[in-house]
Structure 1
Amino acid sequence: MNTDEGSRSPMATTTDLSSDVNRANIEELQTSFLGKTSEYINARLNTVLDDPVLLRVAIRRCRLDCAEAERRINKLKEDNKEYVSKSEYLSLQQTHDELVKSSEQLKQNFRNAKVEYNGLKEALEYLIKDRDKYFTLCETYRATLTPRPNWERCAPIIEGGLEHWKELSIGKTSNQLVDILLNEIIGGNDIYNNVVNFIGLGIDPTVPKFLQTTSNIRNRHFMQRDVSLLIEDIWKQKIEHDLEQQNTLDAKPNFKISLADFVHIYFKRRFPDEELLQLEWGYNLVTGCRRFKTSSDIGIFWSVLLGQADEEIYHKKHLFSDNTQQDS
């Protein structure tokens, strides 16, 4: 036996050693590379580059490791698909904190709104009770008190019409409106009521003769009755004057002096030596006509005096009135 061992050649010994190394390498290559360092893997692979058998074993090992690594990666993805990245988590956390603050602010606003709502609800209930009370009171007054008159019916007899009446009556009680109406009728609310003197209109030819003066004229504050009586006398005197003129031989047919010119003659006859009185009565007559022109007779006289109407209107009106009285 010793002879056999001694008879083995060095070549055989080298071959056995190489086989042992290959078997060791194959066993190492059959162990997974997963979990190994890159230096270890590179060293293992460098030892098999010259040996096709070892290279084949290494490639098979790498394929198995790749498949295992892919399986593990897929498992990790499946296990962690419900998780988010840290940056996304921090962003969501910040958004959550902001929403919490906003929610708290909204809750506080809601509490404030609820308090305000309760206050408004109480105020509304109070107003409803107040409304019901006043409605009942109004119905009681409506059933027991006389209705308010339609005061706008007074507007036609007031100088300035409806617009002026609204200015006078705004915010006034019924008693005050009665006082205003009476004052309007007697001229108490007229703009000339507090005027002491009238300013003369001058001596221009366009000014009627009975008003031509540059002096200040005293305001006599004629009432409506005074103006009506004066106008009635002027008409009476003018009719007589026109008849006298028609009876003269040199009078023109159907010729009548104008009312404005006759008023001048009338005052000269009434106050022959009192020029100041003539002017005073003339200015007060004009002012009275302006104030009480809503009266039928005064309105006709004023229109004829201004030349806006013909004198025949007055004569026909009185002729119609006389016929009506005779028929009755």
Structure 2
Amino acid sequence: MAYPKPWCSSYSPLSRAQPQRTPSEMDQNGSFTQEAKSILKCKLSQKRKTLPQFSIGSHLSPWPMHIYGRTILPNRKPCSVDYQKLASAQKEEPLNMTKPRYLEQLENHLRKELLLLDLCSDSTQELRLQPYREIFEFFIEDFKTYKPLLSSIKNAYEVTLAYQRETIRALEPLRARLVTVKEDCNEKLLAMRAVERHEVSVLKNEKMHLLKLIDKKNEEKVSLQSEVAKLRKNLAEEYLHYLTERDARKILLADLNELRYQREDMSLAQSPGIWGEDPVKLTLALKMTRQDLTRTQMELNTMKANFGDVVPRRDFEMQEKTNKDLQEQLESLQADYDEVCKEHEILLQLHMSTLKERDQFHAELQDIQQTSTPRPDWTKCEGVVAGGTDRWKMLAAGKNSDQLVDVLLEEIGEGLLREKAYFPGLGYGEAIPAFLRFDGIVENKKPTKMEVVNLLQDVWKERLAEEQKEKFADFFFNFLERRFGPSEAMAWAYTIFENIKLFRSNEVMSQFYAVLMGKMKESVYIYQKETIAQLQREMASADSQNEGLLSMENFSSILRSTFPLKKEEQIQELMEAGGWNPNCSNADLFKYQALFKEDEEGQSEPFVQKVWEQYVDEKETYLQELKQELGPEILEVTPGRLREALGTIDPSLDAQTLSTYVSQAFQVPVTELPMEGDNENEQGLKTQLETVMSRLWVSDIRRAGPRTEPEPAI
């Protein structure tokens, strides 16, 4: 095949100067104007003249198509003679093939043009595209047959490029405006941060001022208390002084009256009129007096003879009253005796039934001892549990076998949980909690028990600090996203869920798991924390000296005022959990702040645990009374019947609290509860009794006042 002569001699791109693009030839986006395009077209035509002219039919090579015609064998059988001859002929034919000269010249031209453009550091993309345009123009001019098609392709690309340039030009103002808006937003953000810093500083100063004011008020309170004590002492001294003065005055008045009476007697004795009376008259008066004396003596003797054995009326009435009291006492004792006799008979019957049960249980015990396995030896766990004997004794202190099994399971589960590197995702089912909906595997972050407890306490702090608008599970997952980022939130959710599901003996984890899974409303946890906070405030206010000490008497009075509905036995249990000893005096002081401390794993002191246990027991008792009032034989209950039963067992409930309890039991808003007497709507809300009781159990329901006992029938 004939190739054209090298065109390097007549046309050399490296030999000519690169056409310089002046700013007048370019628009704002770096593209050519119409005038620049016409100039470039003229230059292109001149350059085209410098290239050698070729004939498509005689000079253009079909490279590399001629190689395929020589290498591909015809469709013949490999074992035939013709096939073998043709294959050997092709092997002998040399494959000395090179590129066409025209293609090499175009590639060299393109390479040199691009090299010149690379030397110019300020060349734009439009300039880099110009050599390719020139090469494409050469193709269009040489291939006359395909010139219309290639020209339409080139025009389509040029139109598209022009459209793109117009679009970029239209978006430039938006880009500038975006930069301006970003700067404005940054300025506003900085201004808001400056204002916040100023407000924080002002609030800190106000806090310090209020703290100083509180210290000053406390000092004034202490000084006033000392003055009150001093004034009380002075008042007692003055009171004793006035008592002494009063007694002395009474004695003086008595002496004065005695002296006055003596003086009157002396004045009567010295009266001259007595000695001047008639002797006959005096004799007659003496005779009459003696007769009166004799008559009086006789009457006295007669009275002694007649009424010597008669009791005085006063003594008789006194004895009669005493006899009546004794008779009433005898009747009451007789009634008590009859009751004791009845109780004795009942106790005898109970004793007989107890003996039968004892014999039956003894027989069952013997059967169980013969058939059952022996009790486990828990001391064997000392060498297995991490920490040895001391840690096992600490874990097993005060726990029964069932609780020890839970402790052992937690220890085993903790080891297995540490070995897991990933958790399998639970999927996106409706039964799966929202914060665990994930398909795949998630990483086990392997935090320590203390780190999980601290993280859960941070969740509660942030939850109690803001308004409770979203569900607790959604808030928990949003908290993890804020703390660890969206990419790590799911892994932490699975890790924390597996930990709180395992460590049920931990107080913080068990309560968080119950609230998270809907087994307990978060209002129950909030009420518990508010109760403990109220106790702390009451004890701190009773500690007037701010020494952290409190007497058992004050401790008892605070418990009775905070829990007015608790029985005396419950108050004593709380005092014993707080460290009270019946053998000690009530004036003994103790550190009340130690009652509210928590260890590193969030476990509270026995006093706080006893408050929680009594709350659970009281709720259970309250719901049992409600169930008995509703009637154990009924299966469904209406809002009106529940409202009536709650009002019966707890008359002190106000209307708002009562409506809240009914709303929680039937899972409807308070505003949608039917009115009293609306039987149609109440029948539509009829619910199973067990469902109502389970909903009330997870809610914060408690007694508002004592239950009034019915008056006995007369």
* TM-score bin, normalised by smaller chain: 0.3 to 0.5
**How high is the TM-score relative to the length of structure 1?**
0.39
Structure of higher RCO (CA pairs closer than 8 Å, 6+ residues apart): 1
